[in-house]
Structure formats: structure tokens, C-alpha cells
Structure 1
């Protein structure tokens, strides 16, 4: 197994060594969790694990655990539960989105078919449940509550905002459910199973929710701002499919002179290559993009604020640095 890439600079070498060891243990446990006697099932379950990924949720879990005793074995098991849940949702998301690529590789539904992708996601959920059984009622209940939010968020995204509901408020609430909830749970699991005090657990959970939304917003911005494949999918994919992320929602709401052409373009799926390129160029220099960056900064600032009340330990500095990396990746 290749060395784990931390993706964040540590000022404390002792913390860095401990975090690296924790993530390597989680990675090994994750690969064990997706193994199966059936060769086809094992290959399908490993598909996204082998494709890599940022392992953002395990990182949050491990750092949260450093507000207590990070060596407790439940820290690893609960982090694997969160990552398995995340991976399972990706299999299902790709089916709903008809996505051909995930993490730079063919998506499971593209490589096999929708049925295999859905069932593989279900298989990963079952493996997460098996680990939860050993962790006990606290973990089972928290996972159930988190899973409910994941599903509700997906339903709300699919149905769209109801009449009289602000589209931007609706979108941010969907992100809180679909992304923020699981990262919040990753933080809570890490702190809880490390034996941190209740007020620290609550603060880290709130931090996780805020940085979770910020993380997804940074992906939204990166999908437009990047000229490369940094987001793990083809840039402008959401635009091409007519998915209105935050920059597009701000553009649609804008009444400024000179934005009529942009609003016209982003009001429908952009299957025409020339229109797609034009919309990307207009969005990149638009006030809507600047407003989306400001919203990202607001969520990051809220995450920092929750950390301000935490004990002054090296892990707090690392979580603050991780928050700034979420912003910096958008350029």
C-alpha cells in the first residue's frame, strides 16, 4: 500500500506521525472491509477504493480523535464506517447522475451497469452496518440519523425547491444534509471514541458540518474555475448537465446589466460545446462567482469559529489549516 498523502502541512511532527499512522491503519481496515469471497463482488467493491480519493472524512475523524486518545481501536472502526458510507453514496449518485467518470476512472455504472453499481453501494452499506454492530447503540443511532439526512438531502435535491422557497437557501440546506452531515458525524465519531469531553464533541461536530458544506462549495467552484481535472470529473460537468450549483444560482438571481447572456446560457443544460465554453468563460469572471467565493469563505469562517472554543492542542491548528486548504484549492 502506498504511503498516505496527508494533504495538509503539520507544524507538529509528533502529530503528523500519529495522524499518518492512524490514516494508514484506517486505509488497511477499509480495504479489509470491502473484501469478499466472490471475486466479482470484491472487484466492484474495491473499484472506488482503488481509484483513490482525498479520504477527507477519515482525516477529520483522526484529527478530532487527537482531542482525546487517538489510539483507541473504535476510532478506526468508526472512521471506516463513515468512509464506507461515503463510498456507497457515490455508487448510487453516479447512477442517478448517469456519470461516466468518478475520480478519474470509469464510474461503476459505466464500467458495469446501473444494477451492479446500486447493489455494490448496498454491499458497502451492509459492511458499514456490520462494523456499527460492534460499536454499539450510540454508533448505530448516530449513523441512522446521518443516513436519514443523506437520503432527505438527496430527495430534496431531486425534487428541487418548493414554491415560495429561496433556491439558494434550499441548495445550501441540501449541501448540509448531503455532505455536511456525514463529515459532522466523522468528527463526532473520532472525538467520541477517543474519549473527548461532551462539549468538545459538540464543537467538533458543528465544525464538521460547516467545513462539510465548505468542502462541497469548493468543489462547485473548482468545477467552473479549473481548466483541468482537479475536481475528479470533467470541468463544467454540472453546467453541461444543467445542474445549478451555487455560482449558477447566484447568476440566475442576478439582475445586473450585462448578465443577460450568462443567465440565458445557464438556464438550461449546455450540450453544445461552444455554448458550454462561453458559459464557463462568463461565469469565471462574473460577480456570481465572486459571491459564491464569499459564501465559501463564510462557511470556512464559521468552521474556524467553532475551533476557537476548542482546547489549544496541535490538532486544532491542523484542523484550521485543513479549513484553509478547502478554500485554497479553488484558486
Structure 2
């Protein structure tokens, strides 16, 4: 997915220029005392990415005049370094071989190296946040706590008696939505946005973070046009919103599909069968309806923001995220 920036060409170009500056500064932030740590810490950064979180910081920082350029870029660096650090840890827990089309750090070196390099980048992010002020430090710490709790929730799964769908959505809110919410709030904080706007930005970011992950759930099943191999989550037996909805429906007609989902599928014919059954199942439409519902909530929250190209860009980003799964 390529996120186009805004509808105002002057505003869009200023954001592009700032993103390039942040890209250069991210490379510097990964520099360590030894060449090996520098190489390992730069590994995922150099693989690229959408830089969605820095983009949110930049857009929100333009809601009001007066945002300091350097402070804005430091805030954007902090959220992206936090995100990249979490990817090192995720790859260890997922036993991943690839990350952004390149060999994952845990596969290239070891799990221990990947964990420690993730910690190194978390430390770099914390050092940067400390230069912004105590309010930023408090929000970053709260966000980090939610990231950890979301990851633990994913590993442990729902407790007896918990609704698996509600548990899954909470995991997404903690693991993904929390840092995207912080990105939007950091942008508002550097431009001095009033508290009601900061609350709206945080709530918007959390909703759009969940929407982003739910659209990935749908893409994994429905799309052959994204460049990603369809059925990756199905093959690995990973529960996502569509498969959880199938499980929750407990329809006798879904007996074969329920037999296939939630376990690893090594047989290509079985994977093709599972994909075909999921694509024809009402659960996929239900998942799309949830994406649309949350996107509408996110857009409603944006009405609290002052009009202008910054708000227009946030609206457009919301639309583009939703359009990925249609």
C-alpha cells in the first residue's frame, strides 16, 4: 500500500520533505558504539516501510501554527523507533524468517541478538522522548506498557469465559492502536493543540490502528493483488477476525472450515480449500462491516479538529486504509 499524502500539493510536498529528513535521522539514531550493533540496529530501518506513524505525527503537528520543526521530527523518530524495536521482538516470538522482504534479524543472527537490538532501539526512542518533556515521557511509558500487555494477551489467548472476538480486538488496540494513537497525539502536542483535540487525536489513532490490522486480516483472505501471498495467516493457523467469526457462529454447515482454521495447514490443496471456503463465507462481509464501522467512528472524531490540509490528510489516510480491504 502506498499512502498518498493530502489533497493540498504544497502541504503534501512539505510532508514529503520532512519524511526524508526523518529517514536520515533514523539512520543516525541506529548508530551504536560497535559496527555490529549498528548493522543489526539498522537492519529493519534500512528495509524501509510505510512510515505511517511519523506521517501521523507530521500531519497532526500542522493542525495549529507554531510547531517546532526539530521537536516534531524528534517525536516522529521516537514513535518509529519504538515501532521498529517492537518488530525485532515480534519476529522472535513469531519465529519469522522475513521482515519487509528481507531476512529477519533473528534469522540472520539469533533470537538473543534480535531481542537485545530491539531493547537498544527502545532505549534510543526513550532518550529522544526525554528531550521533549515529561508529558511525552509519561505517554510513551503508558504506550509501551500497552504494547507489552497486548503482546502477552496475544500469546496467552482469551481466558475461560472471555469472548474471543472481544479479546482479539483488545489485543489489536493494545499492540497496534496504542502506538498509532500516541503518534497522532504527539503531533498534536508539539503544535499546542487543546486537550479536547488531543483526546480526539488519540481516539482517532487507536481506531485507525485497529482498522489497519483488520484490513490486513481481510487482505490475507480476499486479495490476490497486493503482492502478498494470500492465506498466510490461514496457513500458519493464526486466528484473525474472519476466522474467529466463523468459529463463533458454530454453524454445522461450517464443520469442514472449522476443521481447517486455527491449525497449521501444510497441504497446498487444503490451503486452497480453506481460502475458497473463507472467501465464500458471510464472515468476510462481517469483517468488512466492522472495518467500515470503525472507520466511520474515526472520521467522526476528526470533526473535532480544525479545518485545513492537516485534517484533510487525516481523512484521506483513513479512506486509503479502508480501501485496501475492498
Question: TM-score scaled to structure 2, two decimals?
Answer: 0.95
Aligned positions, number: 325
Q: Distance in 1 between matches of 2:28 and 2:20?
A: 12
Q: Which runs of 5 or more residues in structure 1 are unaligned? A: none
Contact in 2 for aligned 1:222/1:230 (Cα 8 Å): no
Q: Distance in 2 between matches of 1:143 and 1:240?
A: 35
Pick from 11, 30, 45: which aligns with 2:41?
45
Aligned to 2:14: 18
Q: Deviations over 1:245-281 (max 9, x none)?
A: 1111011122446322211110422122221221122
Contact in 2 for aligned 1:6/1:20 (Cα 8 Å): no
Displacement, 1:290? 1.0
Q: Distance in 1 between matches of 2:5 and 2:132?
A: 32
Q: Distance in 2 between matches of 1:93 and 1:229?
A: 22
Pick from 28, 32, 38: which aligns with 1:32?
28
Name the SS of the counterpart of 2:253 in structure 1: coil
Q: Distance in 2 between matches of 1:53 and 1:316?
A: 23
Aligned to 1:283: 278
Greater than 4 Å deviation, 4+ residue runs:
none
Q: Distance in 1 between matches of 2:62 and 2:227?
A: 30
Displacement, 1:6? 6.7
Larger mean Cα displacement after TM superposition, 142-151 or 279-288: 279-288
**Residues 153 and 247 (structure 1), Cα distance of their counterparts in 2 relative to 1, 3 Å cut:** same
**Residues 241 and 6 (structure 1), Cα distance of their counterparts in 2 relative to 1, 3 Å cut:** closer
Aligned to 1:329: 324
Larger mean Cα displacement after TM superposition, 110-119 or 172-181: 110-119
Pick from 137, 141, 154: which aligns with 2:138?
141
Contact in 2 for aligned 1:240/1:270 (Cα 8 Å): yes
Q: Which runs of 5 or more residues in structure 2 are unaligned? A: none
Displacement, 1:36? 2.2
Aligned to 1:103: 100
Pick from 51, 57, 62: which aligns with 1:61?
57
Report 1:304-319 matches (<5 A). 304-319=299-314
Contact in 1 for aligned 2:291/2:322 (Cα 8 Å): yes
Question: TM-score scaled to structure 1, two decimals?
Answer: 0.94
Q: Distance in 2 between matches of 1:194 and 1:35?
A: 29
Q: Distance in 2 between matches of 1:40 and 1:251?
A: 47
Aligned to 1:303: 298
Q: Distance in 2 between matches of 1:294 and 1:129?
A: 38
